Amino acid sequence: MKIFKFGGASVKDAESIKNVASIIKSEGASDTLVVVSAMGKMTNAFEEVVDAYYNKEENLPDKLNFIEEYHNNIMEALFAKDDEIYKDVAILFGELGWFLARNTSQRFNYVYDQIICFGELLSTKIISAYLTKIGLENIWFDVRNYIKTDSNYRDAKVDWSLTEEIITNKVDATKINITQGFIAANDTENTTTLGREGSDYTAGIFAYCLNAESVTIWKDVPGVLNADPRVFENTTLLNQISYEEAIEMAFYGASVIHPKTLQPLERKEVPLLVRSFVNPKEPGTKISKGSNLEPLIPCFIVKKDQILVSISALDFSFMVENNISYIFQKLHDYQLKVNLIQNSAISFSVCIDNKFKKFDSFYNDLKNEFKLEVQKGIDLFTVRHFDDEAVESIEEKGTSLLTQVNKETIQIVLQAN
């Protein structure tokens, strides 16, 4: 069985959905499981609904109307007015309205997961109906009945044994199956999510449980490139790379592959293909087992808007294990992701991502116990398989604040000019 995953950009409007249907028809008209994300920027739109609902904002109805009109416009371009899909979608909006009216929980992460899931449910209902309309019979199913997790809302951990048992027994591997990425459910049937951009991970879970032939992630780029084309000029397609190299790139922040996706694939040696939905005839990138696969050229990864913090003891004593473990616990408590670490005898420096906007609280918590020097708005460049020319091209972009080098990788913290 083959696993396909289509992200939001590939299903953002009616023409995009027709293109996805064309790809499925030519590449996977049987024995294929298709994982689909919310359409376009709908995850962001549903996050606005979550915030407005949780904070009791008056514009909540407007935000809901925007989402409903968005999906209605797509349906009107694909279906006749009397198609059953309108009733199916109305039922989903009714379920969302029921939750908003009846919920009494004050737990933000729980509320988030119960609302955000409707993006994927809506997109897959519409796509499944359109495939049926054009003659591609398929099975739509609710992934929450298949992937089971703990109750760590917004970043749930998969119960692998139960999930594998369910998927193995319930998925019809001879048909086209349409289901949702990113979402799952716990043992009380409440919706959970696998972390932002978790649809890739969903594809990996099904591939592992079904011993799939391959996983294909369809994206708006030709495959895995040696750099982000939005940041770097003259990028190069990597035709094939190993699991190990892909995991390294994901660890350092390459956005084309979700970090958790590769682990289940590597365990079962399921190849991962990254291909373009814009040019579906092109082969893209193959990620598989092997130690001598590409790349042998420098690969550039950049993380923007980072914070560099240098921490030292107020009495100039050594920064040793007890200081560092305490600081790491605080970093964890404030959900600050550490992307680089460097320490000397009396200082400890970290380059961190302030995704959850909790750095100021972290700073205020530590400022009376340590001396903190902070530089905000800096960039972290990572170069795998670096050479002198690659390093020079990065250093030309600004002032280097910190550099860390190992055999295969160099990381440079840069203050832009």
The pLDDT value recorded for residue 345 is: 87
* DSSP-assigned beta bridge partners for residue 3: 33, 215
Pairwise CA distance, residues 21 & 242, whole Å: 30
The pLDDT value recorded for residue 402 is: 95
* Rounded alpha-carbon distances, angstroms, from residue 293 to 239, 267, 276, 290, 381: 9, 18, 21, 6, 23
188 & 332 share domain: no
- Tens digit of each residue's pLDDT (9 = 90 or more) over 330-377: 999 999 999 999 988 888 999 999 988 999 999 999 999 999 999 999
Among 322, 315, 309, residue whose Cα is nearest residue 346: 315
Residue 179 placed within a domain: yes
Q: Give the single-character DSSP code of 356.
A: T
Is the bond leading into 280 cis (omega within 30 degrees of zero)? Answer: no
Residue 14 placed within a domain: yes
Residue found by looking up tokens 């995850």 in the block: 43
Pairwise CA distance, residues 333 & 24, whole Å: 44
Among 379, 310, 378, residue whose Cα is nearest residue 341: 310
Residue found by looking up tokens 């001598």 in the block: 292
Name residue 400's amino acid.
S
79 & 208 share domain: yes
Q: Is 294 annotated as a binding residue?
A: no
Q: Is 43 annotated as a binding residue?
A: yes
Which of the listed residues 219, 242, 258 is the one where a domain comes to its end?
219
Strands 285-288 and 299-313: unpaired
Q: Is 196 annotated as a binding residue?
A: no
Residue 261 placed within a domain: no
Residue 227 placed within a domain: no
**DSSP-based three-state secondary structure for 40:** coil
Residue found by looking up tokens 């009216």 in the block: 101
- Tens digit of each residue's pLDDT (9 = 90 or more) over 9-68: 999 999 999 999 999 999 977 899 999 999 999 999 999 999 999 999 999 999 999 999
The pLDDT value recorded for residue 405 is: 95
- Tens digit of each residue's pLDDT (9 = 90 or more) over 98-126: 999 999 999 999 999 999 999 999 999 99
209 & 324 share domain: no
Residue 369 placed within a domain: yes
Check which CATH number belongs to the domain holding 327 and give it: 3.30.2130.10
- Tens digit of each residue's pLDDT (9 = 90 or more) over 226-281: 998 888 888 999 999 999 888 888 888 887 687 789 999 999 999 999 999 999 99
Global confidence as pTM: 0.88
Number of domains comprising the chain: 2
Q: Is 6 annotated as a binding residue?
A: yes
Q: Is 7 annotated as a binding residue?
A: yes
Task: Look up residue 97 and give its two tokens.
Answer: 């309205």
Confirm if 224 and 285 have CB atoms less than 8 A apart: yes
Check which CATH number belongs to the domain holding 110 and give it: 3.40.1160.10
pLDDT band (50, 70, 90) for residue 292: low
Residue 171 placed within a domain: yes
Domain range for residue 54?
2-219
